[in-house]
């Protein structure tokens, strides 16, 4: 079974989109961190922010990443099914 060039391009584009969206999420977190550093917060407020992040990050970041990779894997499998049939 030979993989067509179109299939390779399609899977490459889907993976590239997933990487870009992941990097975008990372950039947002870095921007938040820079904002906090520029504000020059005290140790007590940094500790409170850290504890809040630990409790809320799974609720906000994990669902976004799950959706990114579910869509990526689904589109890749769809492309594979189109290729097979």
State the Cα–Cα distance between residues 77 and 79, nearest whole angstrom: 5
Q: How many Å apart are CA 80 and CA 82, to the nearest integer?
A: 5
pTM of the model: 0.53
Q: What is the pLDDT of residues 2-12, one digit of tens each?
A: 667 777 888 88
Q: Model confidence at 1, in pLDDT bands (50, 70, 90)?
A: low
Contact 11, 73 (CB under 8 A): no
**Per-residue model confidence as pLDDT tens digits over 37-78:** 777 767 777 778 778 877 777 777 778 888 888 988 888 888
Kindly list the domain boundaries of the chain, sorted by start residue. Answer: 59-85
Reduce the DSSP state of residue 42 to 3 states and report it: coil
Query: From residue 48, how far is each of 28, 32, 39, 40, 69 by CA, in Å?
Result: 20, 15, 15, 14, 31
- Note the Cα 5 to chain centre separation in Å: 27
- Predicted pLDDT of residue 2: 61
């Amino acid at each position: 079974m030979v993989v067509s060039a179109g299939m390779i391009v399609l899977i490459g584009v889907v993976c590239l989109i997933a990487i870009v969206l992941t990097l975008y999420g990372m950039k947002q977190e870095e921007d938040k961190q820079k904002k906090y550093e520029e504000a020059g917060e005290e140790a007590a407020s940094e500790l409170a922010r850290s504890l809040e992040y630990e409790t809320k990050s799974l609720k906000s970041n994990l669902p976004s990443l799950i959706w990114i990779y579910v869509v990526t894997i689904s589109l890749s499998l769809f492309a594979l099914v189109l290729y097979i049939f």
